[in-house]
Amino acid sequence: MDWLSVSILHSTKRFRFSSPALLVWLLLFGWAHAEDQFPYVAYISQDDTYIRSGPGRQYYPTEQVPQGYAVEVYRHDQSGWCAIRPTEQSFSWVSAHQVRFINDQVVEVTANQ
């Protein structure tokens, strides 16, 4: 799970959360409407913005993405952050001893350590 801070664009109205340089600004098609229709696609609106490992600046950056980069948003946090699907360049690790292959595209986690 990766997180982004948001700037919201709905028609011609703009709503903004805080704008520190390390936060990500997204152009979203309607916050309230999008909440009812997860997941949805949003686009990064500033160049060289960081995607973070959690919903806050205290979480480490996992990736830096360019302006126009598409992300899939699947959850909003009350503090103004959006949970996004990991990008193609993002990955996590799990011990091979803790997974069982179901088929060539699906694995089952057999332990949680």
Element containing residue 16 per DSSP (H, E): strand 13-16
Do strands 70-76 and 81-84 pair parallel, antiparallel, or not at all (unpaired)? Answer: antiparallel
Helix, strand, coil distribution of the chain in percent, nearest 5: 5, 45, 50
pLDDT at 90: 81
Write phi, then psi, for 97 (nearest 5 degrees).
-75, -10
Alpha-carbon span 29 to 10, nearest angstrom? 5
For the chain, what are the domain ranges? 2-109
Instruction: State yes or no: pLDDT of 7 exceeds 50.
Output: no
Verdict on whether the full-model pTM lies above 0.85: no
pLDDT at 92: 74
Give the pair of three-digit tokens for residue 42: 């949003």
Q: How confident is the model over 60-99, as pLDDT tens digits?
A: 888 999 999 999 998 888 888 999 988 888 877 778 888 8
pLDDT band at 58 (very low <50, low <70, confident <90, very high): very high
Question: Mean pLDDT throughout 4-27?
Answer: 39
More confident residue, 22 or 46: 46
